[in-house]
Amino acid sequence: MASLKAQGIDSILCTPTATPPRWLTAEHPEWMRVDINDVPFTHGTRQHCCTNNPGFRAESRRITRAMAEAFKDDAAVIGWQTDNELYCHVEECYCESCQVGFREWLALRYDQSIEKLNHAWGTLFWSQQYDDFDQVVIPKKWRQPAPCNPSALLDFRRFLSDSVTALSARTGGDSA
């Protein structure tokens, strides 16, 4: 950046959160996003880690804070590009963190009442009734012999949207 600055070229930095280093993904293969066929993504592209994984979120905060501290007073830096294309290639993730997060999100949405979820989703149909939020699985619209419950699919999309929104809010406001 100093060489560029000497030539009159300013720099815009971006965080590496969409493309974590190989040592990190090798150390934490459980942080990879998982596709609808239960196959984890591999390293060598971008957006292959799940932003709902608590460990990945912590490391993202750590590198973002470290970069901000290191370059906050650098005259060559005229701007920052934050990770702004979350889930633009593949929208869904079916990893364990998302499964757990989806259940927690459902419990909040339905006031900790599985009966409310059963009513809202119309689970009397096809014996879909649940006894507990821990029984709920992420619906997989392409991996079933017949259509999934449309309310479950809609709530999964709402969960994904809310979790991305919460990521931005937590990353910006978290003091950890």
Least separation in angstroms between CB 109 and Zn ion: 18
Confirm if 88 and 22 have CB atoms less than 8 A apart: no
Report the candidate in 175, 123, 112, 130 with the shortest Cα–Cα distance to residue 150.
123
* Cα 171 to Cα 176: distance, rounded to the nearest angstrom: 9
Choose, by CB under 5 A, the member of 49, 95, 138, 160 that binds Zn ion: 95
Residues 6+ apart with CB under 8 A from 111: none
CB neighbour list of residue 168: distance below 8 Å, 6 or more residues apart: none
Site track 47-86 with Zn ion (rule: CB under 5 A), x = hit: ---x-x----------------------------------
Tokens 């591999």 sit at which residue? 42
Task: Give least dist CB 1 to Zn ion, A.
Answer: 34
Q: How far is the CB of 163 from Zn ion (least distance, A)?
A: 9
Site string for Zn ion, 98-137 (x = CB under 5 A): x---------------------------------------
Q: Give the residue with the Cβ less far from Zn ion, 125 or 142.
A: 142
Q: Is 32 in the site for Zn ion (CB under 5 A)?
A: no
SS3 for 97?
helix
Q: To the nearest whole angstrom, how small is the minimum distance from the Cβ of residue 97 to Zn ion?
A: 5
Shortest distance (Å) from residue 8 CB to Zn ion: 44
**Shortest separation between residue 156's beta carbon and Zn ion, angstroms:** 12
**Which helix (H) or strand (E) element contains residue 13?**
strand 11-14
Between CA 20 and CA 44 the distance in angstroms is 10
Closer of 13 and 32 to Zn ion (Cβ):
32
Helices 150-173/114-121 angle, 10° precision: 130
* Contact set with Zn ion (CB under 5 A): 50, 52, 93, 95, 97-98
